[in-house]
Amino acid sequence: MPTKPFIQYPFESSYGRFTALGVERVALGRLKAMFLPSLSVKGAEALRTHANFVRSQLMHRGLNFQEEDSIGRDIEVMKSALLTGRVMSLDFPLLFPLGGSC
């Protein structure tokens, strides 16, 4: 029997998938390969496919995303977060209490 979807914007969990803004969390090693030292083909594809890719990856790790500071600068924002170790601060999915609220 499928589980009831849980939605707490911007997070959603349904059918065994946990997403932020519709994007699943990418493993840290894969993120580094996508953005360091320069944008890879896979990184460019992720940015093209998901307009909120960088924002969602930062949200998955509990990091604030200042939209006004990053308009058109997604690559630089992600590189900075990776190089300063901010992305490493939480490399597992956020968990919610059983009550379903954040």
pLDDT in tens, 62-89: 887 776 666 678 899 999 989 988 876 5
Domains held by the chain: number: 1
14 found inside a domain: no
**Burial degree of 65 (CB within 10 A; 0-12, 13-18, 19+):** middle
84 found inside a domain: yes
47 found inside a domain: yes
39 found inside a domain: yes
18 found inside a domain: no
Q: 102 pLDDT exceeds 70?
A: no
Q: State which residues form the domain around 60.
A: 28-89
80 found inside a domain: yes
**35 or 63: whose pLDDT is higher?**
35
96 found inside a domain: no
Closest by Cα among 11, 21, 53, 52 to 34: 53
Tell me how far apart the alpha carbons of residues 65 and 31 are, in angstroms, rounded to a whole number.
Answer: 17
